[in-house]
């Protein structure tokens, strides 16, 4: 399929946001043939294609909760096409995080998002033991069980989304690398690629961790002043994402009644000890998440990420896959995560040798406050910078499509770039994860 010389809408990136935006633009206009998607590799070749797939509403920030409730509804609209498993989500937290969790519960109630809050160490232990007879995590004072949400299979969901876009008339051009954006009179008039230029009326930048490069093509600021902070901060910071798989049969983590469990997220300040030699792993607040997943072939999940320890302009342009071995999670993550699984369930004790050695994790690109930026720049360039919240937010594309058609969306207002200059930060919780 040859690249056209012009298109009304050019979407850069064939991940969750690019495909969702293209699909909804085609549906809303009824002119899918005027929407094209460009990707330098293929559908789901970047961050979306290796995402662990967790879908949750569990956010301390009201704006994120509203946006995720909307996105969960999109996942639920076609579970088969999106390979979505609505098993629910459980956040488990220590006393230091109790007030945050209780606030999330109350605000979920206020928007009609169904969840159950369990309070106190003994009731929390009993609640978890009803799910897992071998539950043994310590220092747990709150359990928030979201009855919607769950997880989706990454590549399968993207194939389903791409099929919906194609059915609406969208053409996805893979193996096409964007090399520049032609600016004229302050607006983008064409997208330049290694296979020629495509004139456009509007362009969508939805490239996940590669957003820094397209941001530079738009000649946008490299740093930003964050009120209340310590001066100007880099617009983009890269974190190494820590995820992996324990190669057990996924049925190894069924509930007492033989069903697939909710996605489990545990934060605790209980000291974590190595389950093989008893040495101390950490005595600080730590957190993990995990789920049985037949797509990954085991129990899959992750832990807290860490900042890549080098200047942002030296981070690999293509941070995923075997070509970047220095970004693959290593033995320290395996030790921490498998010990944490054993801390939570007796069944995981002594299972570290089953940890997969295959590359996992990847690189996440975070904004100065670790929350997304959804905004238009240079008159007609819409930037979707998800700050590593991306895959679960399948509904963002529907909202962005409406804004591109001249219909402002209230749910996107808290995520404008102007919030930095105007001093409108999102509240921050006590979670050890930067995206909370």
Structure-token pair, residue 78: 């076609």
436 has pLDDT over 90: no
User: What CA dihedral angle connects 100, 106, 110 and 115, to 10 degrees?
Assistant: 100
Among candidate residues 6, 408, 2, the one with its CA nearest the CA of residue 203 = 6
- Interstrand relation of 6-12 and 196-205 (parallel, antiparallel or unpaired): parallel
The Cβ of residue 30 has, within 10 Å, a number of other Cβ atoms equal to: 9
pLDDT tens, 184-207? 999 999 999 999 999 999 999 999
Q: How confident is the model at residue 327 (pLDDT cuts 50, 70, 90)?
A: very low
CA 409/CA 48 separation, integer angstroms: 24
3-class SS string, the chain: CCCCCEEEEEEECCCHHHHHHHHHHHHHHCCHHHEEEEECCCCCCCHHHHCCCEECCCCCCHHHHHHHHHHHHHHHHCCCCCCEECCCEEEEECHHHHHHHHHHHHHHHHCCCCEEEEECHHHHHHHHHHHCCCECCCCCCEEEEECCCEEECHHHHHHHHHHHHHHCCCEEEECCCEEEEEEECCEEEEEEEECEEEEEEEEEECCHHHHHHHHHHCCCCCEEECCCCCCEEECCEEEEEEEEEECCCHHHHCCCCCCCCCEEEEEECCCEECCCCCCEEECCCEEEEEEEECCCCEEEEEEEEEECCCCHHHCCCCCCCCCCHHHCCCHHHHHHHHHHHHHHEHHHCCCHHHECCCCCCEEEEECCCCCCEEEEECCCEEEEECCCCCCCCCCHHHHHHHHHCCCCCHHHHHHCCCHHHHCCCCCCCCCCCCCC
The Cβ of residue 365 has, within 10 Å, a number of other Cβ atoms equal to: 25
Q: Are 371 and 64 in contact (CB under 8 A)?
A: yes
38-59 average pLDDT score: 92
CA 146/CA 193 separation, integer angstroms: 44
CA 200/CA 188 separation, integer angstroms: 8
Structure-token pair, residue 299: 């129990």
314 has pLDDT over 80: no
Q: Which of 8-12, 73-77, 222-226 has the lowest mean pLDDT?
A: 222-226
227 has pLDDT over 90: no
Look over the chain and give the mean of its residue pLDDT values, rounded to a whole number. Answer: 90
Strand order in the sheet with 150-152: 54-55, 150-152, 84-85
CA 90/CA 245 separation, integer angstroms: 19
Q: Which of 1-5, 152-156, 311-315, 342-346 has the lowest mean pLDDT?
A: 311-315
131-151 average pLDDT score: 97
pLDDT tens, 355-399? 997 756 678 899 998 899 999 999 999 999 999 888 999 999 999
Structure-token pair, residue 15: 């991940």
Q: What domains sit in the chain, N to C, each tagged with a CATH number?
A: 1-85+150-232+370-436 (3.50.50.60), 89-147+237-366 (3.30.9.10)
pLDDT tens, 239-255? 888 889 999 999 999 99
Q: What does the pLDDT read at residue 338?
A: 97
Sign of CA dihedral 142, 147, 149, 152: positive
Q: How confident is the model at residue 427 (pLDDT cuts 50, 70, 90)?
A: low
**HSE-up of residue 131 (Cα within 13 Å, Cβ side):** 22
Q: How confident is the model at residue 322 (pLDDT cuts 50, 70, 90)?
A: very low
Q: What does the pLDDT read at residue 316?
A: 38
CA 405/CA 392 separation, integer angstroms: 24
CA 297/CA 153 separation, integer angstroms: 11
320 has pLDDT over 50: no
Q: How confident is the model at residue 219 (pLDDT cuts 50, 70, 90)?
A: very high
**pTM tops 0.85:** yes
335 vs 388 pLDDT, higher one: 335
Structure-token pair, residue 89: 């989500």
133-161 average pLDDT score: 97
Q: Which of 79-83, 309-313, 431-435 has the lowest mean pLDDT?
A: 309-313
């Amino acid at each position: 399929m040859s690249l056209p010389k012009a298109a009304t809408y050019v979407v850069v990136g064939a991940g969750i946001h690019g495909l969702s935006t293209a699909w909804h633009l085609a549906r809303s206009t009824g002119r899918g043939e005027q929407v094209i998607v460009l990707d330098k590799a293929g559908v789901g070749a970047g961050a979306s294609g290796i995402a662990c797939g967790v879908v949750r509403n569990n956010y301390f920030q009201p704006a994120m909760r509203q946006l995720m409730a909307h996105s969960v509804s999109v996942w639920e609209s076609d579970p088969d096409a999106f390979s979505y498993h609505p098993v629910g989500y459980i956040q488990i937290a220590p006393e230091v995080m109790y007030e945050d969790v209780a606030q999330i519960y109350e605000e979920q109630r206020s928007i009609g998002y169904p969840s159950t809050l369990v309070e106190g160490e003994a009731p929390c232990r009993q609640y978890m033991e009803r799910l897992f007879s071998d539950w043994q995590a310590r220092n747990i004072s709150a359990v928030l069980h979201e009855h919607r949400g769950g997880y989706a299979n990454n590549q399968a969901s993207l194939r389903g989304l791409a099929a919906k876009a194609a059915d609406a008339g969208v053409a996805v051009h893979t193996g096409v690398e964007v090399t520049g954006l032609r600016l004229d009179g302050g607006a983008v008039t064409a997208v330049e690629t290694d296979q020629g230029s495509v004139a456009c009326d509007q362009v969508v930048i939805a490239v996940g961790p590669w957003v820094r490069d397209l941001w530079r093509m738009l000649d946008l600021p490299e740093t930003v002043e964050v009120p209340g902070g310590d001066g100007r901060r880099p617009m983009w910071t890269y974190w190494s994402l820590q995820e992996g798989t324990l190669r057990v049969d996924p049925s190894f983590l069924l509930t007492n009644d033989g069903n697939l469990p909710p996605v489990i997220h545990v934060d605790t300040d209980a000291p974590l000890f190595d389950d093989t030699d008893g040495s101390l792993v950490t005595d600080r607040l730590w957190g993990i998440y995990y789920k049985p997943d037949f797509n990954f072939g085991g129990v899959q999940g992750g832990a807290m990420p860490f900042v890549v320890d080098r200047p942002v302009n030296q981070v690999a342009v293509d941070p995923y896959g075997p070509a970047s071995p220095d970004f693959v999670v290593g033995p320290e993550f395996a030790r921490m995560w498998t010990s944490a699984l054993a801390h939570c369930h007796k069944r995981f004790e002594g299972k570290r040798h089953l940890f997969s050695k295959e590359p996992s994790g990847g690189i996440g690109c975070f904004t100065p406050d670790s929350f997304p930026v959804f905004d238009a720049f240079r008159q007609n360039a819409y930037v979707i910078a998800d700050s590593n919240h991306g895959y679960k937010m399948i509904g963002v594309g529907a909202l962005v499509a409406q804004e591109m058609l001249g219909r402002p969306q209230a749910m996107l207002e808290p995520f404008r770039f102007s919030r930095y200059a105007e001093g409108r930060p999102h509240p921050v919780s006590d979670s050890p994860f930067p995206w909370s």
